[in-house]
Amino acid sequence: MRLVGGQTRDARIAMSVLRELGDILLDATRGSLRQRVEGRSTARGSLPAWLQRAADFDVVGIESGSTVLLIEAPALADVAPSLFSQQELFEPVEPADSAFSLMEKTLSMAAEGRSDSDLFDQPLLSTFHRFDRVLAAGFDAIELSDRDDRQSPIVINADSVRSVDKLIQSTPRPQSARVSGTLDTIRHSDRMFTLLIEGGKVARGIAEGVAAQQLAELFGHPVVVSGMAVFRASGGLLRIEAEAIEPAGANAAIWARVPGPLFRVMDAGNLRQPQGPRSGVNAVIGHWPGDESDDEVAAALRELS
């Protein structure tokens, strides 16, 4: 990791900046990994032990050349082999990857404004936005690259932060939803499930509040899921946070669709239209909105007075 800009001091870095940067990197790495495993970057309660181990990394040195932090992170297969050998993760993960490298890939997609990505939700985007605090300390950019520079570095600068902020602002609010379909996949550890919806569409979700025995009994059967729909920045469904899963009744077909946001964030810029000499305000100022002549208008005003 390289800090670029006016406040760089070769192989020195202020403790306040290092602490801020470390907190952001750790939260971003944990959130990125959890998003791939569970489909969410945060959850209530204490941090799972597997996540603490898998998302940890070491700072092994500071070098000159702007200010360069050397970071090492273990492969996921080395810290949680049983978890990352599974195929039922929310998003595929290569066991040879590290949580830090997954965070870099996710951050890159957010900086590019990839609004339809499943790899981040709004809380994780808010974590990425915190890099702005480091830039505000006097740096022009933060560059993330591997030691051998085999790939182009990921650059975090003012433009990247603006892209992330745009994703945050455009993400619809979660809303109540009901969806019917066939309960197709259940993962016991965190109640992650997939729902096959009529027409071949798939919705994924988390059912922490639903008993494991109830989920097992409903597996493979038509059900109705009630809960909160969480959306991507594009407006597509990211996940369903289920509050109840029940056997489908006779009228379940009316819920057999992927929920979409009822209200979208409006970009005020899209409402602005260019005005010319014959459009907008110019089309009405100085004009009488009728066919009457000046004499006819004057006569009508005299009658009213």
Q: Which residues contact 84 (CB under 8 A, 6 or more apart)?
A: 54, 76, 77, 93, 95
pLDDT recorded at residue 243? 95
Let me know whether 108 and 144 are in one domain.
yes
pLDDT recorded at residue 64? 80
In a domain, 113, yes or no: yes
Let me know whether 88 and 201 are in one domain.
no
Boundary (domain end) residue, out of 170, 201, 232: 170
Q: Which residues contact 283 (CB under 8 A, 6 or more apart)?
A: none
Q: How far apart are CA 202 and CA 6, in angstroms?
A: 49
Give the phi and the psi of residue 42 in degrees, each rounded to 5.
-140, 160
Number of structural domains, the chain? 2
Let me know whether 162 and 192 are in one domain.
no
In a domain, 274, yes or no: no
Cβ atoms within 10 A of the Cβ of 14, count?
13
pLDDT recorded at residue 93? 83
Boundary (domain end) residue, out of 170, 188, 206: 170
Let me know whether 140 and 211 are in one domain.
no
Let me know whether 110 and 217 are in one domain.
no
Boundary (domain end) residue, out of 255, 270, 288: 255
Let me know whether 110 and 248 are in one domain.
no
Q: How far is CA 132 from the centre of its chain?
A: 17
Task: Give the range of the structural domain holding residue 139, as residue numbers without chain letter.
Answer: 2-170
- Which strands form 154-156's sheet, in the order they lie side by side? 58-64, 67-72, 2-4, 141-144, 154-156
Q: How far apart are CA 217 and CA 214, in angstroms?
A: 5
Side-chain half-sphere CA neighbours of 236 within 13 A: 13
Let me know whether 41 and 126 are in one domain.
yes
Low-confidence ranges of the chain (pLDDT < 70): 7-8, 86-89, 147-150, 264-273, 276-278, 280-290
Let me know whether 83 and 116 are in one domain.
yes
